[in-house]
Amino acid sequence: MIEDWKIKISMFWIIASVAYVAHPIMVLSEPTTLAGIIAGRIDDAQITQALLLDFAILILVPLVMAFLSLILKDSINRWANAIVGVFFALTYIKTVVNSFTLPSYSGALLTFVAFVASVLIVWYAWKSKPT
């Protein structure tokens, strides 16, 4: 039987991933964004294969973590979720701040949800009882 904290962490990873993926979808509906993409830029960054690979990793890692959260042994599970959760919390909060400077309030809201989910991942991983 899968423990309750593992299911919660797995669900928070899925929430974080979906919210983070929804962010660019919302930003695409802003009038100036499409013109920038056509010109080969996203915000202030040049669109490159490396940038697209970074985005792919930021989307796939939480989904992989959702699966691993259900199958890893407790000790490894806690550490993996705490470490990766902190990394993503920092990444998401940076994106939230950047979204307000653009401004992209819908993107900021969605990424803030991903940030809260990653903080809850770290919380549940930390407070789970060692076996």
Is the pLDDT confidence value at 51 over 80?
Answer: yes
Distance CA 83, CA 21 (A): 21
For residue range 56-78, list pLDDT tens digits in order: 999 999 999 999 999 999 999 99
CB 65 within 8 A of CB 56: no
The DSSP secondary structure of 4-23, one letter per residue, reads: HHHHHHHHHHHHHHHHHHHH
Please choose, from the candidates 24, 7, 14, the residue with its C-alpha nearest in 3D space to the C-alpha of residue 114. Answer: 14
User: How many domains does the structure of the chain reveal?
Assistant: 1
Is the pLDDT confidence value at 131 over 70?
Answer: no
Summarize the confidence of residues 75-97 as an average pLDDT. 94
Q: What is the pLDDT of residue 91?
A: 94
Q: Comparing 131 with 35, which gets the higher pLDDT?
A: 35
Name the 3-class secondary structure at 87.
Answer: helix
CA distances from 40 to 49, 59, 67, 98, 124 (A): 11, 21, 34, 19, 40
Q: Domain of 32?
A: 4-127
pLDDT > 70 in the chain, percent: 95
Q: Of 7-11, 12-16, 27-31, 44-48, give the lowest mean pLDDT range.
A: 27-31
